[in-house]
Amino acid sequence: MSAAVSPAPASSSMNRKRWHNLRNILERKGPFCKSDFTPSADNLEFLQNTCKILVIGAGGLGCELLKDLALMGFGDIHVIDMDTIELSNLNRQFLFRRNDIGSSKAECAAKFINKRIPTCQVTPHCAKIQDFDESFYQQFHIIVCGLDSIVARRWINGMLISMLNYNEEDGSVDASSIIPMIDGGTEGFKGNARVILPGYTACIECTLDLFPPQINYPLCTIANTPRLPEHCIEYVKIIQWDKENPFNCALDGDDPQHIAWIYERAMERANQFNITGVTYRLVQGVIKHIIPAVASTNAVIAAACATEVFKLATSCYDSMSNYMNFNDIDGIYTYTYAAEKSETCLACSNVPQVVNIEDPNTTTLEDLIKILCENARFQMKQPGITTMMDGKNKTLYMATVKSIEERTRANLTQSLGELGLKDGQIIMVADQTSPTTIALQLKYNANEVEMA
């Protein structure tokens, strides 16, 4: 008796049906295909078995991105998120359940996708993006950002630019060193999606003025010359909390006891400096940096980002060029335009950018730090400044290292002239907004300035 032929596994048949629509796109020509697109079954095989995607953020946008990418055939996805799940997340971050509260967002999101979509393997990383070096980021074909932090966006943007290689002959960017970044952002009923090809198209720093203004306070002002109620709150949050460690744990903006403690200490500091306006509600706003989130907006922006990832990975259609804005406050309105590279970009211009100073004899180092923090071009957080003098590296100020901050604090009140900083001098600035040190050139606007 001849052996019976076994029927094809049901899972194989279901798998063919699952990717039927993708095969229609990837295995045949269409009127909108790129001229160099080659229809082939290998395209889907590449998505499922070779292409490696990194999703940064597993919050409102991140959950949507992971779901979309997994259902679009991507088989190897990594996700980074340092946060844990809170009750307030559950109304829109649909990969999480009440039992997940307190657990890692990255791990729970990966577990959910892996269980629900067996063709996709999501690898979680419960960490900060700053915890990884360039060797980690070099393994990915495309990076997708679903972040709620401009600082984090600027950091990963700087990392990808620092990884570029340049041709020795003409100085052009080596295309093989480019890792595309797709960035999405939402706030209420507004959102945007953009495609960034580091070294070719406008980067995050090129269009920094498109982001809503960020309120930040230089540490030197917070510690030495507070003028606003927010300064008092930030002082307690940044300095007193770590120093006194009142509850033997990290600060939790959702814990009423933590907020009450900060409120009481901020009131004490405000009274010390005769500052009014510290309220419990203001303390909550400063501590939590609350940004409104709407599930439908997250879904639209994540879908746009995932579509751009798909187009870049397969070359089946031209990518968006290169910035899409979305608004559904009154009806639905969207438009796309090509953001242009900036010749004065801090990250991708490859030349030291100029910092204009009116008078070095009246401009103190603290004034310079305020410029770096408050000027729309720079928007730094806690810049540390060094320079070369007489062939030696000199640290002018650094707030992030306590011993160096104490040693260089006296420099804050000295003028740039008194510190010996000359017109055209290059200063090196380290800040949490960039993984690399940024070179800036001082430009004194007065033609004939007598140095003090």
Q: Is the dihedral of CA 271, 274, 277, 282 positive or negative?
A: negative
Q: Going edge to edge, which strands form the sheet with 392-397?
A: 353-357, 438-444, 426-430, 384-389, 392-397
Share of the chain above pLDDT 70, in %: 92
Average pLDDT score, the chain: 89
Q: Are residues 412 and 307 in the same domain?
A: no
Mean pLDDT within 216-233: 82
Q: Are residues 76 and 134 in the same domain?
A: yes
The helix/strand/coil state of 196 is: strand
pLDDT tens for 314-369 read: 999 999 999 999 998 888 999 999 999 988 898 988 888 999 999 999 999 999 99
pLDDT at 446: 66
Q: Is 6 a residue whose pLDDT tops 50?
A: no
Q: Are residues 186 and 246 in the same domain?
A: no
Q: Are residues 273 and 304 in the same domain?
A: no
Mean pLDDT within 142-157: 93
Q: Are residues 262 and 310 in the same domain?
A: no
Q: Is 223 a residue whose pLDDT tops 90?
A: no
Closest alpha carbon to 19 in 65, 74, 67, 66: 74
CATH number at residue 399: 3.10.290.20
With cut-offs at 50, 70 and 90, classify the pLDDT of residue 402: confident
With cut-offs at 50, 70 and 90, classify the pLDDT of residue 208: confident
Q: Are residues 92 and 172 in the same domain?
A: yes
252 and 238 in contact (C-beta within 8 Å)? no
For residue 106, the Cα-to-chain-centroid distance in whole angstroms is 16
Q: Are residues 266 and 155 in the same domain?
A: no
Distance CA(365)–CA(4), nearest Å, equals 86
Mean pLDDT within 195-222: 81
Residue 366 is assigned to a structural domain of this protein: yes
Which stretches does DSSP call E strand in 322-367?
323-327, 333-337, 353-357
Q: Are residues 281 and 257 in the same domain?
A: yes
Q: Are residues 64 and 165 in the same domain?
A: yes
Q: Are residues 357 and 310 in the same domain?
A: no
With cut-offs at 50, 70 and 90, classify the pLDDT of residue 4: very low
Whether pTM > 0.85 for this model: the answer is no
Q: Which domain holds residue 151?
A: 35-212+294-337
Mean pLDDT within 120-129: 95
| Minimum mean pLDDT range among 148-157, 250-259, 405-414 | 250-259
Q: Is 419 a residue whose pLDDT tops 80?
A: yes
CATH number at residue 103: 3.40.50.720
With cut-offs at 50, 70 and 90, classify the pLDDT of residue 111: very high
pLDDT at 349: 86
- Among 305, 337, 369, the domain boundary falls at 337
With cut-offs at 50, 70 and 90, classify the pLDDT of residue 169: confident
Strands 384-389 and 392-397: antiparallel
Asked if 108 is an active-site residue, the reply is: no
| Minimum mean pLDDT range among 140-144, 410-414, 440-444, 445-449 | 445-449
Q: Is 448 a residue whose pLDDT tops 60?
A: no
Q: Is 429 a residue whose pLDDT tops 70?
A: yes
Residue 72 is assigned to a structural domain of this protein: yes
Q: Which amino acid is at 76?
A: D
pLDDT at 181: 97
Residue written as token pair 């993708």: 22
Tokens of 424: 């055209």
- Among 247, 271, 288, the domain boundary falls at 288
Mean pLDDT within 110-124: 95
With cut-offs at 50, 70 and 90, classify the pLDDT of residue 81: very high
pLDDT at 204: 94
Catalytic member of 63, 206, 220, 305: 220
pLDDT at 35: 83
Q: Are residues 368 and 245 in the same domain?
A: no
Q: How far apart are the first and last CA of the chain?
A: 106
Residue 2 is assigned to a structural domain of this protein: no
How many folded domains does the chain comprise? 3
Mean pLDDT within 361-380: 91
Distance CA(251)–CA(242), nearest Å, equals 9
Residue 299 is assigned to a structural domain of this protein: yes
pLDDT at 447: 53
Residue 347 is assigned to a structural domain of this protein: no
Q: Are residues 207 and 224 in the same domain?
A: no
CATH number at residue 280: 1.10.10.520
